[in-house]
Structure 1
């Protein structure tokens, strides 16, 4: 299943590109020229989340932003499991297909472990890392694990499918005052049906189910990427990945780390502080 939605070119002024991965047809954008930056979104978003950052950086970088299978304009394959490990494999295939070298990778939310999983397997091709409100270790806080249990229950899974709960309540609940109605619709309209939302139902369960992958990343990221120049851009009001819990672990993992605090931003930092993120990336990776 492909999504029958054409983004408004005034909001999303990019050329859609397609890659036939081993699991399904993947949508991505590839804008500008220069050092490549690969942008990895989380749930329940898509490459639209990075639109301001891509517009601000494509005059000096090659900006690539993917939609994972089950998200954005990418295909919803019936036989795909939508697990974090599977998204990581597909992202790695795109990196290889585009022959990306000297790569800067940015990941936020689930985009952190998905992007870092692909990057650890290609560490010699990675120039630097940008992390925003994410983790790459097992998610232990009780509130996060309770969220996983509750959202993984049958009644809440039905609400995700039938009412688009993750978009309406969690994404737009945080960003509703920030977005225009047209922008909000770009998050809604890429998840128009229950079939289209099937990938969304998996993500809350992965907080617990992806523990083996996160255990491995907790070892591999410091060992294979810990010497790479790294930037953390952090929404300091995030209640999902709280800065006091997460930033010390990132400090421990990376020897060459800059941290830029975003004091007014919550979880979806690309919508709330795009200008600060653009400046931070330019300063860190001139």
Structure 2
């Protein structure tokens, strides 16, 4: 199924484009000219999350932001599992379809492991990396693992599907960033029905289920991408990807690393500090 929603051009002033992947129709935007930067979202977001960064950078970069199957304006294909491995495979097809070379990859939340998994298979084509509040190693903290257990339980899975819990509670609710009513609706309206939310329901399970993929990434990222110029833009108030836990791991993985601490930002850094992120990217990858 496809989502019947047209973004407000005042909030999302981009041309929608479409790619026919092996899993179904994928929506993306491709704005500006210059060195390519591929922007990978997490859950429960979509390319709308990057709108301010795209408008801030498209005068000097080719900004590409993709919606994975099950997210944003992309198709919700029947028989698709929405696992991190499957989403990675589709992203790899997308990179190859666009013939991206010398591209910068930005990954946030699940967009980190999805993007990095695709990038490690194409390391020779990667110019640099931007990481924001994400992880590419097995998620060990007890609080995160218990969150996975709780969110994977039958009652909570029902609330994710029937009440859009992940969007309502963690993105547009009190735990999320400051959004206008119209911005909040752009996150709600792309997940309008239980069938449209199947991808969202899988993501909490993947904290534990994707452990083999994350174990592989923990080895392959330093080995294959560790010498790439890297920028970490980190929301220092994030209680999910806590800086004291995550930043030392990132320092250990990359030899050419710059870190920009977003002092007041929480998890959704693209909403909390888009101008600072755009400025940091432009300075790191001139």
Q: TM-score, normalised by structure 1?
A: 0.99
Partner of 2:203: 203
The change in CA–CA distance for 1:176 and 1:252 in structure 2 (over 3 A counts) is closer
Shift of 1:174: 4.8
Change (3 A) 1:196 1:46: same
Do residues 194 (structure 1) and 194 (structure 2) align?
A: yes
Is the aligned partner of 1:261 residue 2:255?
no
Please give the per-residue CA displacement for 1:147-171, whole angstroms capped at 9, x wherever unaligned: 0000000000000011100000011
2:65 is matched with which residue? 65
Partner of 2:5: 5
Structure 2 residue 97 is the aligned partner of structure 1 residue 100: no
How many Å separate the matches in 2 of 1:43 and 1:138?
Answer: 17
Shift of 1:178: 1.4
Stretch of structure 1 that moved more, 170-179 or 230-239: 170-179
Count how many residue pairs are aligned between Structure 1 and Structure 2.
286
Shift of 1:173: 2.2
The aligned counterpart of 1:277 is 277
CA distance in 2, matches of 1:277, 1:261: 10
Residues 41 and 174 of structure 1: CA distance in aligned 2, closer, same or farther (over 3 Å): farther
SS of match in other structure, 1:207: helix
Gaps of 5+ in 1: none
Match of 2:237 in 1: 237
Matches within 5 A, 1:13-92: 13-92=13-92
Once residues 24 and 219 of structure 2 are traced to their aligned partners in structure 1, the CA distance between those partners, rounded to angstroms, is 30
Residue 104 of structure 1, CA deviation: 0.1
Determine if contact 1:46/1:71 at 8 Å carries over to the other structure. yes
Q: Which runs of 4+ in 1 moved over 4 A?
A: 174-177
Aligned to 1:155: 155
Q: 2:79 is paired with a residue of what secondary structure? A: coil
> Residue 172 of structure 1 aligns to a residue in which SS?
coil
Contact 2:177 2:271 in 1 (8 A): no
Distance 1:174 1:61, change over 3 A: farther
Aligned-partner Cα distance in 2 for 1:187–1:207: 22
TM-score (norm 2): 0.99
Residue 179 (structure 2) pairs with residue 179 (structure 1)? yes
- CA distance in 2 between counterparts of 1:285 and 1:276 reads 14
Deviation at 1:172, TM superposition (A): 1.2
Contact 1:144 1:240 in 2 (8 A): yes
Give the structure 1 partner of residue 124 of structure 2: 124
Question: Please, what is the CA RMSD of the aligned residues?
Answer: 0.8
Mapped to 2, the partners of 1:5 and 1:78 lie a distance apart of: 20
Q: Is the 8 A contact 1:176 1:184 kept in 2?
A: no
